[in-house]
Amino acid sequence: MSRVWNFSAGPAALPEEVLRQAAEEMLDWHGSGMGVMEMSHRGKEFTAIAAQAEVDLRTLLAVPDDYRILFMQGGAIAENAIIPMNLMGDKRVADYVVTGSWTQKSQKEARKYAEVNIAATSEASGFTTVPPVTDWKLSADPAYVFTCTNETIDGVEYPFEPDLAQIGRGEVPVVADMSSHILSRVIDVSKYGLIFGGAQKNIGPAGLTIVIVREDLLGRAMPHCPSAFDYKTVADNGSMYNTPPTYAIYIAGLVFQWLKRQGGVAAIEAQNIAKAKLLYDFLDSSDFYENRVDPACRSRMNVPFFLKDEALNEAFLAAAKAAGLVQLRGHKSVGGMRASIYNAMPLAGVQALVDFMRDFAARKA
C-alpha cells in the first residue's frame, strides 16, 4: 500500500494509527459482534463511545465545568444560521469581525436572523491580517461578537485570543469558528461564549460538528429554531435528541485518544510550530514562490502560496501529484496553492513538500 502526502483543506488526512485501529474494529467493536456504524445510538456500546469522546475532548481543551460539549450535524456552514437562532434572545444586533472568506459567508447568513454590525474588517488589506481588538467598533448592545480565528481559505490566524475586556466590553460573548485549527494549539476556552468547528480538518471525518457553549447561553433560541438545532434541547438530551453522526463521533474519539498519546494539545502545538516554520521559512527565502499574509497573522494550519509565474501552476500540480503530494490547489476564490498541514501531517510530509518545491523551482527558474 502506498500512501500519499495529503495536503487537503478538508476532508483532510487522519492519523494512520487511527485509521488502522478503525479498520481492525470495523466488523467487531470490542467483542460486541458488530461495527460502530451498526450500533444503536442509544445502546450501551455507543453511549460509552460518545461519553468517552466527550471526556477526552474536555480534558484536551481544559473545558470548564460550566460549558457543555455538543455533538451536532450540519457543519460549520449550518452553524452560521444556528448560532443567531440560538444566541440572539431578546437582542437585535450581532457583531461580526470579518477577516476572510468564511466570516464573509457567516455575516451574510446571519443577516437572515439579525441585524449585523461589522465591528471590524481586514478587507482593505485583501484579508491578509487580523484587526486588533482595540480597533473593533462594537454596537451598543450586541448579542455576541462573531470571529473566525483561523480562516482556512485565506491562511489568516488570530495571533491573540479576543479579550473584549480590553475595550471595556467583557460582558459580550465571543463566538469563534475554530473549524480549521481547533486542537492544534492551546486555547483558553473561558475567553469564549461559544466555540464551534466542523470535524473534517483536525478531528475526524465530515458529518460531525463540535459545539462548546457556556451554559448561561442556553435557552435563548428563537421560537422558529428547529428543535434539533436548539442548543438547550441538544444539551438536555446529551446530543442524542436525534440520531447523531455515530461513526464520525467514534473516529473523533480515536483521534482524541491519539492526541493524548502524543502528549496533548501543548505537545502537538510544538510540532505544528515546527512544521509551519519549515514551510514559511522556505517560502520567505524563495524568489519563485510567495506568501502574501502578514507574517504576524500567518496560519499554522493553512498555508496559501503563489508561484510568481502562475503560468506554471498546472505543471506544478501535475509534478507534485507524480511525487505523491496531493490536494495542493488553492481555493477557487483566491487561486494559487494551499498546503493544509493539520495535526495528522507529520514533519516529514512538510519536508517532502519543501524538497519538491525547491527542486521544481530549480528546474523551472
Binding residues are 42, 102, 152, 177, 200, 242-243
Please answer whether residues 313 and 198 qualify as being in contact, where contact means their C-beta atoms are separated by less than 8 angstroms.
Answer: no
DSSP state of 331: P
102 given a catalytic annotation: yes
Pick out the residues of the known binding site for L-glutamate.
42
269: Cα separation from own chain's centroid: 14
Q: Which of 136, 201, 230, 258 is catalytic?
A: 201
d(CA 345, CA 358): 20
For residues 335, 106, 224, 227, the Cα torsion angle rounded to the nearest 10 degrees is 70
Please answer whether residues 97 and 136 qualify as being in contact, where contact means their C-beta atoms are separated by less than 8 angstroms.
Answer: yes
d(CA 29, CA 44): 12
177 given a catalytic annotation: yes
201 given a catalytic annotation: yes
Q: Which of 56, 95, 154, 177 is catalytic?
A: 177
Determine how β-strand 289-290 pairs with β-strand 209-214: unpaired
Pick out the residues of the known binding site for pyridoxal 5'-phosphate.
102, 152, 177, 200, 242-243
Three cell numbers at 272? 505544528
CA distances from 105 to 19, 61, 119, 142, 212 (A): 33, 27, 15, 19, 21
d(CA 184, CA 260): 12
Closest by CA to 211, choosing from 62, 51, 79, is 79
d(CA 119, CA 97): 5
Three cell numbers at 228? 434539533
d(CA 144, CA 162): 12
Please answer whether residues 208 and 57 qualify as being in contact, where contact means their C-beta atoms are separated by less than 8 angstroms.
Answer: no
Q: Which of 5, 29, 102, 258 is catalytic?
A: 102
Beta-sheet strand order (sheet of 302-307): 289-290, 302-307, 337-340
Q: What are the φ/ψ torsions at residue 176 (nearest 5 degrees)?
A: -130, 120
290 membership: H or E segment, kind and range: strand 289-290
Q: Which sequence positions are flagged as catalytic?
A: 102, 177, 201
